[in-house]
A and B are shown apart, each in its own frame.
Chain A
Amino acid sequence: MKTIISPCHRLTGSLVIVALLMASVEFAFAGRHLSVRRNVNVRSNTHINRDVHVRRDIDIDIDRHHHSGFGVGLAAGVITGAAVGALVSSPPRGYTTVYVGSSPYAYYGGTYYQQGPSGYMVVAPPIGAIVPVLPPGATVAVVNGVTYYVFNGIYYQPVFVNGVTQFRTVRF
């Protein structure tokens, strides 16, 4: 894994720091795997005036603490080497399911998997996928004044999804 920190982009630096912070949080909970999933993190009512709607809390990102930091330096090196077409029995622990249209993909560290009859196959990154964390080692690229993060030739654009920072794969 190679991380290039461009001096003119403090953002890359801060992302790296964030990754380290998340890794340290992970340690704090080591030995007690938290299976924090979307459903669990949902709570409905914090509004009295116009109540019930279901929304994740986005300031307390416990879901991120417990999967994204995980494997930042560990599994990533292994996983990023996975070639399209490779078969695995299951995606790495801590993967995220992302939907592009109605198709589910398992996402982990910049690698996308689709489930088949005999396991999970590594597939080419789908365009339009929205992922919660950048692949570790993604580098900054500014194209026409717009900031992207590039990993294995795939461009990720930051976007607020319901107020949560995520990254969308785009095509030029």
Chain B
Amino acid sequence: MNSTSIQAATRALLLLIGQMLAPQSGRAEEPAKNIDPKALEIIQRASTYLAAVPQFSVSAEIWEDFVQEDGRKLQFTKIVDVKLRRPSWVQLDVRTSVPKRSFFYNGKSVTMLDQKTGFYGKAEAPGTIDETILAMEKKFGIDFPIDDLLVSKPFGNGAAMATAAQYYGVEPVNGITCHHLAFQNEGIDWQAWVEAGPVPVIRKVVITDKLEKSAPQFTAILTAWDFVTPLPDFVFSFDPPAGSIKVEMIKVDEPEEAGSVTK
């Protein structure tokens, strides 16, 4: 990505923040010509359903494109195991073929553990998941993986901000019949596959980055949705394993040279 597209990304970010902060009163005029109401209705049904459940666990297999400087597009895979209890408990384990990072949030503090080294950073946290996700990004530059799923309105804001939406009928995802929805937002296109039936869970999400010339994609396949297995408090509290070391967390504006231009 050259500096021009970074500037473009920054502009788009500011634009979107502006949209998000704008008062909701603009809603009445929103059903623009290109929005298929069926797509919007299904994504909102999925969002409302997930927002209303008191707890869930799910496993997300994520396929991500990385475009190399010579133009080759490579895809890498990681898995995020999610455990969430509303309103203020989240536990995430990120792994490839080995454990990578874990997150623990219990309404009071938030911890990120680097599984490879045993280093962890811990900070006081706000009282809700949404606030904590934003605070971690703002203070420490740390993103919660697949945060779109963790927020109080999963995918809801994204759908509300879409400039166009289409419905493509039903298709199987891992053998499960799903509604195929497509949305176009500023900077990204995204698609969602929502299970057809009484439990409208999201089974697959694809995000295409329109700001990059090579349009890399992010695909998440969601399996093992579980709304019943108890998630007691201890699941969300971090007990430093023997030998683990607490480290400072700092934010450095990227892509400012924080340390890694390798040649």
Interface, chain A (partner B; CB < 8 A): 9-11, 14-15, 18, 34-60, 62-63, 66-67, 93-99, 104, 129-132, 147, 157-163, 165-166
Q: A54-B6, A96-B260, A96-B261 are in contact. List 14 more A-B contacts (CB 8 A).
A: A15-B117, A36-B68, A40-B69, A49-B151, A49-B157, A51-B188, A59-B100, A59-B101, A60-B64, A96-B262, A158-B245, A159-B250, A162-B250, A163-B112
* Alpha-carbon distance A165/B259, docked complex (angstroms): 11
- Among A40, A51, A57, A96, the one with the most B-chain Cβ atoms within 10 Å of its Cβ is A51
Known: A52-B16, A52-B188, A55-B143. A62 touches B212 (CB 8 A): no
Q: Which B residues form the contact surface with A (CB < 8 A)?
A: 1-2, 6, 9-10, 12-13, 16-17, 20, 64-70, 74, 76, 78, 94, 96, 100-101, 112, 114, 116-119, 121, 140-143, 145-148, 151, 153-158, 185-188, 190, 205, 207, 209, 211-212, 216, 218, 242-243, 245, 247-252, 254-263
A49 B156 Cβ-Cβ under 8 A: yes
Give A93 to B64 CA distance when docked, in angstroms: 27
Pair B211/A163 contact, Cβ less than 8 Å: no
A104 touches B257 (CB 8 A): yes
Instruction: State A123–B251 Cα separation when bound (angstroms).
Output: 27
Neighbouring B residues of A161 by C-beta, 8 Å: 141, 250-252, 258-259
Q: State A38–B262 Cα separation when bound (angstroms).
A: 7
Given contacts A98-B257, A159-B250, contact A62 B66 (CB under 8 A): yes
Cβ–Cβ contact B249 & A159, under 8 A: yes
Q: Specify which chain A residues have a CB less than 8 angstroms from the CB of B190 in the assembled complex.
A: 48
Instruction: Say whether B260 contacts A38, CB under 8 Å.
Output: yes
| Cα of A44 to Cα of B212 in the assembled complex, Å | 8
Shortest B154–chain A CB gap in Å is 8
Contact A46–B257 (Cβ < 8 Å): no
Is there an interface contact between A36 and B155, defined as CB atoms closer than 8 Å?
no
B116 contacts A165, C-beta separation under 8 Å? yes
Nearest-neighbor residue (CB-CB) of A66 within chain B: B262
B76 touches A95 (CB 8 A): no
Report the Cα distance A27→B142, complex, angstroms: 31
- For residue B79, give the distance in angstroms from its CB to the closest CB of chain A: 9
Chain A residue with Cβ nearest B77:
A60
Residues of chain B with a CB closer than 8 A to A50's CB: 16-17, 20, 157
Is B245 a contact of A45 with CB atoms below 8 Å? no
Q: Which of B157, B259, B262 contacts A166 (CB 8 A)?
A: B259
Question: What residues of chain A lie closer than 8 Å to B64, measured between beta carbons?
Answer: 43, 46, 57, 60
Are B96 and A9 in contact, CB atoms less than 8 angstroms apart? no
Check if B147 sits within 8 Å of A41, measured CB to CB: no
Q: How many A-B contacts are there with CB distance less than 8 Å?
A: 218
Q: Do A43 and B260 touch (CB < 8 A)?
A: no
- Asked if B257 and A52 sit within 8 Å, CB to CB, the answer is no
Q: Are B247 and A52 in contact (CB under 8 A)?
A: no
Tell whether, in the assembled complex, residue A63 and residue B262 are in contact, meaning their CB atoms are under 8 Å apart. yes
CB-CB < 8 A to B100: which residues of A?
59
B82 to chain A, nearest CB (A): 14
B136 and chain A: residue at smallest CB distance:
A163
Q: Which residues of B contact A95 (CB under 8 A)?
A: 262-263
B183 smallest CB distance to A (angstroms): 8
Which B-chain residue is minimally distant from A108 (CB atoms)? B262
Let me know if A165 and B117 touch, CB within 8 A: yes
CB of B35 to closest CB in A, whole Å: 16
Cβ contact within 8 Å between B158 and A48:
yes
- Chain A residue, CB-CB nearest to B241: A10
Q: Which residue of A lies closest to B118 (CB)?
A: A11
Q: How far is the CA of A162 from the CA of B156 in the complex (A)?
A: 27
- Decide if A40 touches B245 in the complex (CB within 8 Å): no
> Could you tell me if A99 and B262 are in contact, using CB atoms closer than 8 angstroms?
no
A38-B262, A62-B66, A161-B259 as given contacts; A54 in contact with B254, CB under 8 Å: yes
